[in-house]
């Protein structure tokens, strides 16, 4: 199943999603449900709402598909959005237990993600795979994909050819108590978020010992450099 996009930015999609939530609940005399859901979203995503962490993570307002996927889970839980391919309890436990091993610090294409997880319950803008468990209380799983805009110089023609790369997974999200705890970034996602040197400051607990040692040495060298220390807050 696919859902169309009717917003140019994540902020616009949040306005559309929140207004639709309020309208549907108003028609069914469920205003309290709309208020509770919006309060819950603010608690999970912060004072700017759903759009906040998505814009901050990759420094882009073009996150309407991610924002729409969050509202899709809300509409499904309230009974307004039917979805197919619900994941059984046993399969859900298996899938969620293997996420970090499948996606953490690796490059994974969208097709590979489908091979690992199966067909999604919902596809948003052809790039966000949404997996819904049979138990709504378990939350949803989201696989966010992105294609790089690339261009190539045509030798002898004096022109460039523009195109897009293959869809790569950049983040895996599980809806829960807070945004960061349910987030896994792929190698591509970490490079987008922090640059090619992400492993120096953001290696994490799974970082290989030799790489962690090198990262520690590089941090010591950087921290001892006056030109760098003067840039740190409080210096």
Q: Are 124 and 65 in contact (CB under 8 A)?
A: yes
Phi, then psi, of 205 in degrees rounded to 5: -70, -25
List per-residue pLDDT tens for the chain, 235 residues long. Answer: 344 457 899 999 999 999 999 999 999 999 999 999 999 999 999 999 999 999 999 988 899 999 999 999 999 999 999 999 999 999 999 999 999 999 998 999 999 999 999 999 999 999 999 999 999 899 999 999 999 888 888 898 888 888 778 999 999 999 987 899 899 999 999 999 888 876 576 666 666 777 767 666 666 777 776 665 545 544 4
The pTM of the full predicted model, rounded to 2 decimals, is 0.83
Q: Give the pLDDT score at 156.
A: 85
Parse the chain into domains and list their residue ranges: 2-194, 195-225
Q: Give the pLDDT score at 80.
A: 97
Q: Are 117 and 85 in contact (CB under 8 A)?
A: no
Q: How many residues does the chain have?
A: 235
């Amino acid at each position: 199943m696919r859902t169309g996009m009717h917003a140019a930015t994540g902020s616009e999609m949040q306005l559309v999603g929140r207004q639709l939530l309020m309208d549907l609940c108003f028609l069914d005399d469920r205003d309290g449900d709309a208020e509770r859901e919006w309060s819950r979203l603010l608690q999970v995503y912060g004072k700017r709402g759903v759009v906040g962490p998505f814009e901050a993570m990759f420094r882009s307002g073009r996150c309407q598909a991610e924002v729409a996927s969050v509202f899709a889970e809300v509409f499904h839980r309230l009974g307004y959005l039917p979805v197919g391919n619900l994941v059984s309890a046993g399969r859900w436990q298996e899938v969620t237990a293997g996420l970090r091993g499948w996606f953490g610090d690796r490059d994974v294409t969208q097709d590979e993600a489908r091979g690992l997880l199966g067909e999604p319950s919902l596809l948003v803008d052809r790039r966000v795979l949404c997996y819904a468990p049979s138990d709504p209380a378990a939350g949803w799983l989201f696989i966010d994909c992105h294609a790089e805009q690339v261009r190539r110089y045509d030798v002898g023609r004096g022109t460039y050819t523009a195109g897009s790369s293959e869809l790569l997974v950049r983040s895996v999200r599980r809806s829960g108590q807070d945004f960061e705890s349910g987030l896994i970034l792929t190698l591509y996602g970490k490079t987008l978020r922090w640059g090619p040197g992400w492993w120096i400051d953001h290696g994490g607990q799974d970082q290989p010992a030799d790489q962690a040692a090198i990262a520690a040495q590089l941090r010591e060298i950087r921290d001892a450099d006056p030109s760098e220390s003067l840039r740190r807050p409080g210096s």
